[in-house]
Structure 1
Amino acid sequence: MKWQRARRSSNVEDRRGRRLAAGGGLGLGGIAIVVVISLVLGKNPMEMLGLVQQFTAGTASQTSSAPSQPIDDEASRFVASILGETEDVWTELFRQQGQRYEPARLVLFSDQVRSACGTASSAVGPFYCPGDRQVYIDLGFFEQMRTRLGGGGDFAEAYVIAHEVGHHIQTLIGVSQRVNDARRRGQNVEGDGGLLVRQELQADCFSGVWAHHAQQRHDWLEPGDIEEALNTAAAIGDDRLQRQSRGSVVPDSFTHGTSEQRVRWFRTGFDSGDFQRCDTFAATRL
């Protein structure tokens, strides 16, 4: 992938090397326990961490005894380039609809980070927080994709970033609010065919739409790049992850969709380039 052809975004904040202040917040051990419990119960780790954080955030603040300077390394340049391309693509697509795109910020962190959605460890993986409209990524996750999940590669990493930006798109167009409203009304949003799965699959489709237009703009994909993204989408399907961790599949606890669904919705976006084809909430077949 010839990612150097893209414009680098200035909306990247590098918090790698910073430490969270002791006291008030969850420690690493506490975060790990919440993550493990959420996976066992089939819950969204970020949701459970956010709930716990509501009781612990009052006295904690994010500090660093020696604030680190942003690291100008290849990894950060890659992230800034991919984020910049999402900004350029979605700015144009929004413009065509007579709307203005508001870019998300992306935070690089290591080990642990505090967001408006609560404190999270690297174990949670990349996530988007609608409370502060920021994407959070520990770059160590990309190494895990290669060594543990059977995915990886530069375009696969771009897919992950574009997927999280897809959640930002959902916040801007009101999808996230509708899902949250349903949850507050007591509606069960999890499970195969549930609103959470539809929300995640739509983000996969949005990432495919972005990849379609980015390729048209830069002709930057190389042989094997699409396969990297598809392999990664398959590797992080609920069914595969559950089979690896539990030895069985429990569709009622799905939150992201199966491997086949994630691959198919990414391809829907990539092949069409039309974000209106990404209405997973109206789809009868996911």
Structure 2
Amino acid sequence: MEWKGRRQSGNIEDQRGAGPRGGGNPFGRGGGFRLPGGGGMRRAGGGMSFGTLIFLVILYFVLKAMGIDMLQVLEGGGPANMPGFEQSDGSGAPQGTAEEEEMKAFMATVLAETEDTWNGIFQASGEQYEEPRLVLFSGSVRSACGFASSASGPFYCPGDRRVYLDMGFFDELAQKFEASGDFAQAYVLAHEVGHHVQNLIGVLPKFNEMRQRMSEAESNQMSVRVELQADCFAGIWGKYTEQKGLLERGDLEEALNAATQIGDDTLQKRMQGYVVPESFNHGTSEQRMRWFKRGFDSGKMSDCDTFSGGV
């Protein structure tokens, strides 16, 4: 995908480093460097003891010798030289490796392209598109929909109208699910933005209301239709991106392969060796690929009606 040099969206919240990484309880408190409070050696009147003051002075110079300036920490600078802490570019956002920063720029560009696409579609219908925000996180994150770990994969929360993404998911997408390529990654984000569009036009609120009265099997069947429509909406974005001349040779195939690799039947067969169709809640590989291609070929929301007839 030809993306470098294009507009990047400002609707991004970078929360990488705010949650715990790796092992441990992913739903616990966020990581980070915190000074102890509440306890400690204090006089009866609430003042600090002389011994504690001497200890803190010694601790300051020890840390200073290690390259850690506690005055900067207290002023919000952070323990810049301590391993395990991401650096900042001065804007307040964490800064990772060059590869991570390029991925962030790519996601910001794809998000901007979805904004252009859906702003135009909504305006053509006399409506105003409310742009979602993209939250980048690592380890775990808290949303209006509750806590989630990176194991949950990318998701959209209708409660705060944000898309949540741990960019480490793309390594898993390429290595574990054999769906590599930048347009495969773009498809993932465009699919989640598709859920945002569904939220704006009333599909998600209606589904959330209905499934409270549904059995698990009925809810799964309806969920499949919701997910396939988001795939179709992602295809619409792909159509507009192609019309701009941004697609490169093989991009469409990357997206279709990603849709195939994350179909319910393919995932279940890979994970457990057999499939349980009644448990499908995203759609089969064939369905996901077909509905993305339908949106890509048509470019019209009216052709993404997954709720009428079969899917």
For normalisation by structure 2, the TM-score amounts to 0.76
Whole-angstrom distance in 2 between the partners of 1:187 and 1:93: 35
What fraction of aligned residue pairs are identical, expressed as a percent? 53
- Alignment correspondent of 2:271: 245
Q: Is the 8 A contact 1:62 1:114 kept in 2?
A: no
The answer to whether residue 208 in structure 2 is matched with residue 180 in structure 1 is: yes
Gaps of 5+ in 2: 34-77, 79-85
Q: Is 226-235 or 177-186 further displaced after alignment?
A: 177-186
| Alpha-carbon separation, structure 1, partners of 2:178 and 2:270 | 12
Structure with bigger gyration radius = 2
Whether the 8 Å CA contact 1:135–1:164 is kept in 2: the answer is yes
Q: Does 1:131 align with 2:150?
A: no
- Residue 104 of structure 1 corresponds to 132
Work out the CA distance in 2 between the residues paired with 1:251 and 1:232: 20
SS at match of 1:107: strand
- One of 260, 268, 278 as aligned partner of 2:304: 278
Deviation at 1:186?
Answer: 3.3
Q: Within 2, Cα distance between the matches of 1:103 and 1:185?
A: 31
More helix by share: 1
Question: Runs (4+) of structure 1 moved beyond 4 Å?
Answer: 27-31, 60-64
1:1-286 equivalent positions in 2, closer than 5 A: 1-4=1-4, 6-19=6-19, 64-65=32-33, 66=78, 69-70=92-93, 71=95, 73-188=101-216, 189-191=218-220, 194-217=221-244, 219-282=245-308, 284-286=309-311
Q: Could you say which structure has the greater relative contact order, defined with CA pairs below 8 angstroms and 6 or more residues apart?
A: 1
CA deviations 1:204-243 (Å, max 9, x no partner) are: 00000011012212x0111111110011000000001011
1:142/1:83 CA distance change after superposition, 3 Å:
same
CA drift at 1:30? 5.8
> How far apart, in 1, do the equivalents of 2:267 and 2:106 lie?
27
Q: Distance in 2 between matches of 1:207 and 1:182?
A: 24
| Unaligned segments of structure 1, at least 5 residues | 21-26, 32-52, 54-59
In 2, the alpha carbon distance for the partners of 1:138 and 1:63 equals 16
User: 2:160 corresponds to which letter in structure 1?
Assistant: D
1:38 matched to which residue of 2? none
Task: Supply the distance in 2 between the matched residues of 1:145 and 1:279 (Cα, whole angstroms).
Answer: 28
1:285 Cα deviation after fit: 2.6
The CA deviation string for residues 30-51 of structure 1, in whole angstroms up to 9 with x for no partner, is 66xxxxxxxxxxxxxxxxxxxx
Counterpart amino acid of residue 262 in structure 1: R
Q: What's the CA shift for 1:4?
A: 1.9
Name the amino acid aligned to 1:178: K
Q: What does the per-residue CA deviation read over 1:155-189, in whole Å, with 9 as the maximum and x for residues that have no partner?
A: 01000000000000000000001111111223444
> Could you tell which deviates more after superposition, 83-92 or 70-79?
70-79
Whether contact under 8 Å (1:105, 1:135) holds in the other structure is yes
TM-score of the two chains, using structure 1 as the length reference:
0.82
Aligned alpha-carbon RMSD (Å): 2.0
Cα contact 2:183–2:254 (8 A) shared by 1: yes
For residues 28 and 120 of structure 1, what CA distance do their matches in structure 2 show? 14
Tell me the distance in 2 between the aligned counterparts of 1:152 and 1:145.
Answer: 7
Distance in 2 separating the partners of 1:63 and 1:250: 39
How far did residue 62 of structure 1 move?
A: 5.6
CA contact (8 A) 1:190 1:252 kept: no
